[in-house]
Amino acid sequence: MIDKRVATLADAVAGIGDEATVLIGGFGDSGVPVELVHALLDQGARDLTVVTNNAGSGERDVAALIRERRVRKIVCSYPRSAGSIWFEELWRAGEIELELVPQGTLSERMRAAGAGLGGFFTPTGADTLLAEGKEVRVLGGRRQVFEEPLPGDVALVKAHRADRWGNLVYRTAARNFGPTMATAAALTVVQVEEFVELGELDPEAVVTPGIYVDRVVAVRAP
Amino acid sequence: MIAPLAAVDLARRVAADIPDGSYANLGIGLPTLVADVVGPDKEIVYHSENGILGMGPAPAPGTGDPELINAGKQPVTLLPGGAFFHHTDAFMMMRGGHIDVTVLGAFQVSERGDLANWITDVATMPPAVGGAMDLAVGAQRVLVMTTHVTREGRPKLLPRCSFPLTAAGVVDRVYTDLAVLDVTPEGFVVLEMAPGLTAVELQGLTAARLSFADELGVLPTG
């Protein structure tokens, strides 16, 4: 019997260790697994490497992790926003490392990890600061940069509905990085708004098949 | 007396060059004006990097879905026929050459078509790139929409960019509030100029050397 549902947020983030690489879904405030990130904050893991598109805003989710000095390094495409005060403060103080990655390369590096690839060449970033120190080859007449896969120890993802096998559907643009991150981590933890019975999700519409998912917890929409 | 085009007139001029049936991605800032002035005679499908095709205008106040946002993190709507997909797919569309046209803002453009639009000062602000490099490299046609000079009156069209590049040799055409210019192997060629402007005046506001089309057009206003 397969049942990936867990009862509490604490169960969902149990066992995440210090120095883990944590992939966290979301784009701006859309699709962020806020409750899972707060559970990770309560759980206590530290010296984390966080992979996420933005560096958090205000006092919530990723910003709170950074504020509490739990993040040693952040890998992201756009750490700056109107409310990214905690990231900026620690970055200026040299207390957090930033690896800046073009957004499509960030996503594709996680896809490569999920697909078992050893990396890929892309023209994105060629002849820019973000290609410094990386191998460049001319392929198909274009200068292309070698990018390595970006696997996670853990992925924290927000979806809309799940069944006990961990099949997932998402809602509108909240889907963003979720399906790719789910494939790229050793442990994929998902929060959903509701559970449904096995067979209730239209198999033609399942976005993330349960094979990629390890734990699912239900968090009611606020 | 040099009279630059109003932003809305500039947007209309850019819109006139986007063919009916195009899949388009509009950059943050000035380029978003283009969607507001495309006539009802054209059907253009707008793409957003966070997983939307068929993006529509902002929702009426008090309505809308907080997770349905555009690349600038502003609330938007989905038009009939629109679709959601995940981030890696969204960037596959950009990086794989499936987006017909993008309109981007710029800090600087060089006569070789190099684009600088992501960072001006690496020392004091954390760098942030988002999807700028992916879009500049991957879109079939890269249009730049910008003021001809900076707020301080410095030229933006240069022999070489002094700011860090977003991408090298990617810009096809530049639309400024003073002129429309093609990037060619021989450098910038002026196609149209604002009413009343002379070639000598335009060259005086441009650091790159300009050539002029045989039949020079006048930018429409009003």
Query: What is the interface pTM, i.e. ipTM, of the complex?
Result: 0.96
Partners of residue B129 in chain A, C-beta under 8 Å: 77-78, 100-103, 130
Domain for residue A2, yes or no? no
Q: Do B130 and A123 touch (CB under 8 A)?
A: no
pLDDT tens profile A126-146: 999 999 999 999 999 999 999
Q: Do A176 and B86 touch (CB under 8 A)?
A: yes
Instruction: Check residue B39 and give its pLDDT.
Output: 86
Residue A97 DSSP SS3: strand
Number of domains in chain A: 1
Distances (CA, A) of B12 to A5, A71, B9, B216: 53, 46, 5, 19
Percent of chain A whose pLDDT exceeds 70? 99
- Indicate the average pLDDT of chain A: 97
Domain for residue A159, yes or no? yes
Residues in chain B, pLDDT under 70: 1, 122
pLDDT tens profile A92-104: 999 999 999 999 9
Distance CA B155, CA B206 (A): 5
Q: Which residue of B has its CA nearest to A79?
A: B128
DSSP 8-class letter at A83: T
Mean pLDDT of all residues in A97-113: 98
Instruction: Check residue B125 and give its pLDDT.
Output: 82
Range of the domain at A50: 9-218
Distance CA B203, CA A161 (A): 60
Q: Which of A81, A101, A103 to mutate to test the interface with B (most CBs of B within 10 A)?
A: A103
Distance CA B165, CA A188 (A): 36
| Boundaries of every domain in chain B | 7-218
List, in order, residues 6 or more apart from A24 with CB less than 8 Å away: A32, A33, A37, A50, A51, A52, A61, A62, A155, A156, A181
Question: Which residue in B111, B221, B202, B192 sits closest to B149, CA to CA?
Answer: B202
List, in order, residues 6 or more apart from A133 with CB less than 8 Å away: none
List, in order, residues 6 or more apart from A48 with CB less than 8 Å away: A18, A19, A20, A21, A22, A65, A70, A71, A72, A73
Q: Do B88 and A81 touch (CB under 8 A)?
A: no
Amino acid at B170: V
Could you tell me if B123 lies within 8 Å of chain A, comparing CB atoms? Answer: no
Residue B108 DSSP SS3: strand
CATH number at residue A40: 3.40.1080.10
Q: Smallest Cβ distance to A104: which of B84, B95, B164?
A: B95
List, in order, residues 6 or more apart from A85 with CB less than 8 Å away: A58, A63
Domain for residue A15, yes or no? yes
Confidence of residue A82 (pLDDT cuts 50, 70, 90): confident
How close A108 comes to chain B (CA, Å)?
6
**β A136-139/B157-158 pair status:** unpaired
User: In B85-178, at which residue ranges do the beta strands (DSSP E only) sit?
Assistant: 101-104, 108-110, 115-116, 141-146, 157-158, 173-176
Instruction: Check residue A220 and give its pLDDT.
Output: 79
Percent of chain A whose pLDDT exceeds 90? 95
Q: Check pLDDT > 80 for residue A222.
A: no
Q: Check pLDDT > 80 for residue A16.
A: yes
Question: Which residue in A133, A195, A125, A184 sits closest to A160, CA to CA?
Answer: A195
In the residue annotation, B49 being an active-site residue is answered as: yes
Q: Are A173 and B48 contacting, i.e. CB atoms less than 8 angstroms apart?
A: yes
Domain for residue A1, yes or no? no
Instruction: Check residue A221 and give its pLDDT.
Output: 65
Q: Please tell me the CATH code under which domain B7-218 is placed.
A: 3.40.1080.10
Distance CA B131, CA B48 (A): 10
| CA torsion, ordered B191, B193, B195, B198, to nearest 10 deg | -110
Q: Check pLDDT > 90 for residue A151.
A: yes
Question: Which residue in A25, A144, A22 sits closest to A73, CA to CA?
Answer: A22
pLDDT tens profile A167-191: 999 999 999 999 999 999 999 999 9
Query: Which phi and psi angles does A180 have, rounded to 5°?
Result: -75, -45
**β B108-110/A48-51 pair status:** unpaired
Q: Which H or E element spans position B138?
A: helix B132-138
Q: Smallest Cβ distance to B134: which of A55, A78, A102?
A: A102
∠ CA B94-B137-B39, rounded to 5°: 60
Domain for residue A103, yes or no? yes
Q: Which of A105, A107, A168 to mutate to test the interface with B (most CBs of B within 10 A)?
A: A107
